[in-house]
Amino acid sequence: MSSLLYALCSRLFQILAGVGVGTNLALYQIFFALLSGRFLPSRGALVPALSDSGLARDAVGRSVAAVAYGKWNIQDLIAAWRKCVLKEGRFRPHCYEGYHPVACDLVGFFRSHLQGQVGKHYTSQADKALPAMVFGMVADVGSVGKKRLPLLRHLMRQKQGETEPQLQARLLEETARTLHKNEIAVVDAGFSLAVLLTHQEAAFVIRLDQNATARRNVLPDYKGRGAPPQYGEVVRPLARTRKGKKLAATPPTKKERWKVGRHWVHAYIFENLVLPDARPGSATFRIVVIVDPRYKKPLIVATNRPLCAYALWRLYADRWPVEQMPLASKQMLGCERSFVFSCESRWRLPELAMLAGNLLSYVAACSAPVATGFWDRCARPTPGRLRRVLARLNFSDLPLLLGQVRKKNSPTAHLPKGVAAHRRQKHSLQACGQGVNA
């Protein structure tokens, strides 16, 4: 137990090494409140979660101020976190035919009554888009031991008035700019294939809809009548029915198959294609239809690299670990709802929760499984089990603070106290978009 706690705190010290004195202590306290699941009983409220950790009243106030006004950036914390993980050497990036998968996705932290700078994100529970703080997230995919994990790489905020397709395009542009030659972006069907094709220098794998179509990159033969053709023939990877008429699937360029357990998986490959509204000579891609007998619907993916179907199948399967970061931050750590409304807090608290969830998953995978109780006979190294262990601790039980992670002894006698210290002015509310607690 003590070794596990010291391992967790030592990584926190490395993450906060570049943050200013005083602010790093406040963030250290917020991280412990997140990792120990204090936001679950407080239902996302920041102040009760910090108070439940055993902090004094003035320490809670300093932590709240660090989230709202502190001089720090989430990308610096993510860079320090990645440096710490890669230095340890436990994280092994997956590799298929020389390419390492880099998963991209969007996540929304729903704020139903928040006003001002807030976007909308679709949720299947409500079957519609709801007000939310929307982020674009990028993560490397690998393994720690036998556990498949994401390693957070980048978080991008949605801008004021920006739609989700615009955020996706900006996220893909940033990802394409930072991808190495041996890395490949893996995205879901919600992203745009047309946007990906504008970045031909970056490798990608994208899932397509069941009714996806494309065109050949060559013109069909002229039949001798009418205007010469300007577009290639339409390619339908799957057969379909439209207005009562059956449309047959286009014959594939080639086929592949492999065995998984006792099942044979078949792949149908369509080479040298362009978008349905593009003419020959435009950016090309390949479509691969993967038929697995264990699933009702086939998987349709597109890529701009000459990878075999088996490698594409494995690459797209490695997109799913990016979904684990929102799961850990929302359900495991209790930040599905957040009761903060200042201009920066509404963004910073979800960012810290995402980083804390990634940290908790990594530390759990690196450590021996911790049983919840005597009934947990087959314990696994999951973040939920580690969080339940940390929930029993008080802030006073944490290891002594090291180096620069300490309180900043600054003179405060000249500063206003009490109500005068946090009295809000009308101009500050208008600048913030008149945020309302959600």
How many C-beta neighbours within 10 Å does residue 169 have? 18
CB 5 within 8 A of CB 363: no
Would 71 be classed as within a structural domain?
Answer: yes
- Encode pLDDT of 183-209 as tens digits: 999 999 989 999 999 998 999 999 999
pLDDT at 410: 65
Report yes or no on 378 lying in a domain.
yes
Question: Global pTM?
Answer: 0.87
Q: Which residues contact 370 (CB under 8 A, 6 or more apart)?
A: 4, 379, 385, 386, 389
**400 belongs to a structural domain:** yes
Residue 184, amino acid = I
52 falls within a domain: yes
Strand ranges in 237-293 using DSSP code E only, listed in sequence order: 240-242, 245-247, 254-260, 263-274, 285-291
Q: Residue 310: which H helix or E strand, with range?
A: helix 309-317
Structure tokens at 206: 């994208």
pLDDT of 1-37, one tens digit each?
567 788 888 888 889 888 888 888 889 989 989 998 8
The number of angstroms, rounded, from the C-alpha of 253 to the middle of its chain's C-alpha atoms is 35
| Boundaries of domain holding 15 | 2-79+337-411
Give how many domains the chain has, as a whole number. Answer: 1
Q: What pLDDT score does 424 carry? A: 59
pLDDT of residue 156: 95
Rounded to 5 degrees, φ, ψ at 286 are -125, 150
d(CA 216, CA 254): 15
Q: Which residues contact 34 (CB under 8 A, 6 or more apart)?
A: 49, 333, 335, 352, 353, 356
Among 142, 153, 81, 147, residue whose Cα is nearest residue 382: 147
- The residue ranges of the chain whose pLDDT is under 70 are 1-2, 396-397, 399-412, 414-415, 418-438
Alpha carbon distance 22, 293 (integer Å): 58
In a domain? residue 31? yes
Per-residue confidence (pLDDT) for residue 145, from 0 to 100:
87
Query: Which phi and psi angles does 51 have, rounded to 5°?
Result: -65, -35
Q: Which residues contact 287 (CB under 8 A, 6 or more apart)?
A: 208, 212, 214, 235, 237, 269, 270, 273, 300, 301, 302
pLDDT of residue 243: 83
Pairing of strands 100-110, 183-187: parallel
Domain assignment present for residue 65? The answer is yes
Report how far residue 24's alpha carbon sits from residue 219's, in angstroms, rounded to the nearest whole number.
62
- Other CB atoms within a 10 A radius of the CB of residue 368 amount to 10
Question: Quick check: 365 and 146 in contact, CB under 8 A?
Answer: no
Does residue 20 form part of some domain? yes
**Rounded to the nearest 5°, which phi and psi values hold at 49?**
-65, -40
Residue showing tokens 């908790």: 360
Enter the tokens of residue 118. 């807030």
The answer to whether 186 and 196 are in contact (CB under 8 A) is no
